[in-house]
Amino acid sequence: MTRKPPELNPIVRFIKNPSRKNAINAKCAECMGCTPTHLEVGFRVSISHCSSKDCSLYPFRPYPAQKMLEATKSDF
Ligand code: SF4
Protein backbone atom coordinates (compact mmCIF):
# COMPACT_ATOMS: atom_id res chain seq x y z
CA MET A 1 0.00 0.00 0.00
CA THR A 2 1.38 3.41 -0.94
CA ARG A 3 0.98 6.45 1.26
CA LYS A 4 -0.40 9.68 -0.13
CA PRO A 5 2.18 12.48 -0.05
CA PRO A 6 1.34 15.27 2.42
CA GLU A 7 -0.69 18.16 0.98
CA LEU A 8 1.72 21.06 0.40
CA ASN A 9 -0.88 23.76 -0.16
CA PRO A 10 -2.07 25.06 3.26
CA ILE A 11 -5.34 26.32 1.76
CA VAL A 12 -6.19 22.91 0.30
CA ARG A 13 -5.08 21.30 3.58
CA PHE A 14 -7.61 23.50 5.40
CA ILE A 15 -10.38 22.64 2.92
CA LYS A 16 -9.71 18.93 3.48
CA ASN A 17 -9.24 19.24 7.26
CA PRO A 18 -10.66 22.48 8.71
CA SER A 19 -8.81 22.58 12.04
CA ARG A 20 -7.82 25.79 13.86
CA LYS A 21 -4.13 25.30 13.02
CA ASN A 22 -4.88 24.62 9.36
CA ALA A 23 -7.11 27.73 9.28
CA ILE A 24 -4.25 29.93 10.53
CA ASN A 25 -1.76 28.40 8.11
CA ALA A 26 -4.21 28.81 5.23
CA LYS A 27 -4.90 32.46 6.07
CA CYS A 28 -1.17 33.30 6.20
CA ALA A 29 -0.59 31.49 2.89
CA GLU A 30 -3.51 33.39 1.33
CA CYS A 31 -2.10 36.64 2.72
CA MET A 32 1.14 35.92 0.84
CA GLY A 33 -0.63 35.34 -2.48
CA CYS A 34 -1.39 31.62 -2.43
CA THR A 35 -4.72 30.26 -3.67
CA PRO A 36 -6.16 26.73 -3.74
CA THR A 37 -4.59 26.27 -7.19
CA HIS A 38 -1.40 28.35 -6.81
CA LEU A 39 1.50 28.33 -4.35
CA GLU A 40 3.40 31.61 -4.36
CA VAL A 41 7.16 31.02 -4.66
CA GLY A 42 8.83 31.61 -1.29
CA PHE A 43 5.57 31.98 0.64
CA ARG A 44 6.97 30.18 3.69
CA VAL A 45 9.91 32.58 3.93
CA SER A 46 7.55 35.53 3.38
CA ILE A 47 5.39 34.36 6.28
CA SER A 48 8.51 33.85 8.37
CA HIS A 49 9.56 37.45 7.66
CA CYS A 50 6.05 38.86 8.17
CA SER A 51 6.38 42.25 9.87
CA SER A 52 2.67 42.84 10.59
CA LYS A 53 2.98 42.57 14.34
CA ASP A 54 -0.48 44.12 14.69
CA CYS A 55 -2.07 41.18 12.84
CA SER A 56 -3.99 39.00 15.28
CA LEU A 57 -2.47 35.89 13.66
CA TYR A 58 1.13 37.13 13.98
CA PRO A 59 2.02 35.13 17.14
CA PHE A 60 0.41 32.00 15.69
CA ARG A 61 1.76 32.15 12.14
CA PRO A 62 3.57 29.09 10.80
CA TYR A 63 7.27 29.18 9.98
CA PRO A 64 8.30 31.81 12.57
CA ALA A 65 11.76 33.27 11.97
CA GLN A 66 13.51 31.18 14.66
CA LYS A 67 12.14 27.92 13.27
CA MET A 68 13.21 28.86 9.74
CA LEU A 69 16.70 29.66 11.03
CA GLU A 70 16.96 26.25 12.72
CA ALA A 71 15.69 24.50 9.56
CA THR A 72 18.34 26.31 7.54
CA LYS A 73 21.09 25.30 10.00
CA SER A 74 20.07 21.63 9.85
CA ASP A 75 20.44 21.73 6.07
CA PHE A 76 24.21 21.98 6.46
S1 SF4 B 1 0.50 36.95 10.46
FE2 SF4 B 1 1.39 38.00 8.69
S3 SF4 B 1 1.25 36.48 7.05
FE4 SF4 B 1 -0.17 35.83 8.64
S5 SF4 B 1 -2.15 36.74 8.06
FE6 SF4 B 1 -1.14 38.15 9.47
S7 SF4 B 1 -0.09 39.62 8.14
FE8 SF4 B 1 -0.58 37.81 6.90
Say what the pTM is: 0.85
pLDDT of res. 36 = 98
Task: Note whether residue 2 is domain-resident.
Answer: no
Q: Is residue 26 a part of any domain in this protein?
A: yes
Containing domain of residue 63, as a range? 10-74
Residue length of the chain = 76
Q: Per-10-residue mean pLDDT for the chain, 76 residues long?
A: 89 98 98 98 96 96 77 58
Number of domains in the chain: 1
Q: Which of 14, 22, 27 to mutate to test the pocket of ligand 1 (most atoms within 8 A of CB)?
A: 27
Residue 38 pairs in a beta bridge with: 35
Cβ atoms of 63 and 48 closer than 8 Å: yes
Residue 49: predicted pLDDT: 95
Alpha helices in the chain (DSSP H): 10-16, 20-31, 43-48, 65-74
What ligand 1 atom has the least distance to the C-alpha of 47? 3
Residue 24 inside a domain? The answer is yes
